[in-house]
Amino acid sequence: MPNRKQYLIANWKMSKTTNQAILFMQQFSVNSLNNSEIQVILAPSYVSLSILRDIILTASAPITLAAQNCSSEESGAYTGEVSVTMLREIGCQYVIIGHSERRTLFGECEPILSKKVELAVKAGLIPILCIGESRELYETGATVEYLKQQLAPYSSTLPFLLAYEPIWSIGTGLIPTREDLSTALDAIDSKFPDTPILYGGSVNRKNISDLLWHQRMNGFLVGGASLEPDSFFALYSAMNQNNHHG
Ligand code: PGA
């Protein structure tokens, strides 16, 4: 199995103001991010992107930026939207697309999401496409079928990352069993053998080692545990250790 690059992504959602984002950077041990195989990515709100870019540049920190969303349109009369070109220009390298909160709270689904992915790639951004089943689908054993359906519009040659985030796991403290995780990762891998696959949903410093073992696990998309510098750094350390000993 090739040793793929690992990713650790902080999804701050709508939790941090710009001042809080700056404070995080002051307290985060950027000098200890010494493993070039682990790409650390911060996804603050749109309004904090430019100041974080400046802080990262000034500190020469090995961190890159992701936006949490983007418009499905290129430019023009779309009040309140932010285009992929704007994100690229402001210094983002990645963009999260199709997070389950976008899907469930804002009604986004594959026709719109596949347009976003296409535009992002065209603009030189790397999409982080989120997929994952609801509790109901999980309980009826329909996970694999649903993941295949969500992934159907995408080509295996797309330069993107996939984040498997079971909806029932996000913010609940629940994580999949080893067996469930293998089943989902194997299903994704069968169509996307060369795409990095991340996991997201209640990852924290206590359970990360229960998730790291899978050879197809290329990192994590983290919500709650990414908000405090200490707990986020603990995830980095666990990945770092695994990377050295794995
Ligand atoms: P969580 O969120 O880590 O708080 O469960 C993950 C996510 O929504 O990406």
- pLDDT at residue 244 in the model: 66
- pLDDT at residue 245 in the model: 59
- pLDDT at residue 222 in the model: 98
Cβ atoms within 10 Å, residue 29? 13
Residues of the chain with pLDDT under 50: 1-2
- pTM score, two decimals? 0.96
Whether 214 is catalytic is: no
- pLDDT at residue 242 in the model: 86
Mutate to test the pocket of ligand 1, among 41, 203, 207, 235 (most ligand atoms within 8 A of CB): 203
> Which ligand 1 atom sits closest to the C-alpha of 163?
9
Alpha-carbon separation of residue 89 from 50, 68, 104, 157, 161 (angstroms): 10, 16, 29, 25, 21
Whether 245 is catalytic is: no
Among residues 99, 101, 108, 133, the one annotated as catalytic is 99
Which residues neighbour 61 within 8 Å (Cβ) at sequence distance 6 or greater?
30, 33, 55
What's phi and psi for 6, nearest 5 deg?
-110, 155
Please work out whether the CB of residue 170 comes within 6 Å of at least one atom of ligand 1.
Answer: yes
> Which ligand 1 atom sits closest to the C-alpha of 170?
5
Please work out whether the CB of residue 143 comes within 6 Å of at least one atom of ligand 1.
Answer: no
User: Which residue, by CA, sits nearest to atom 6 of ligand 1?
Assistant: 223
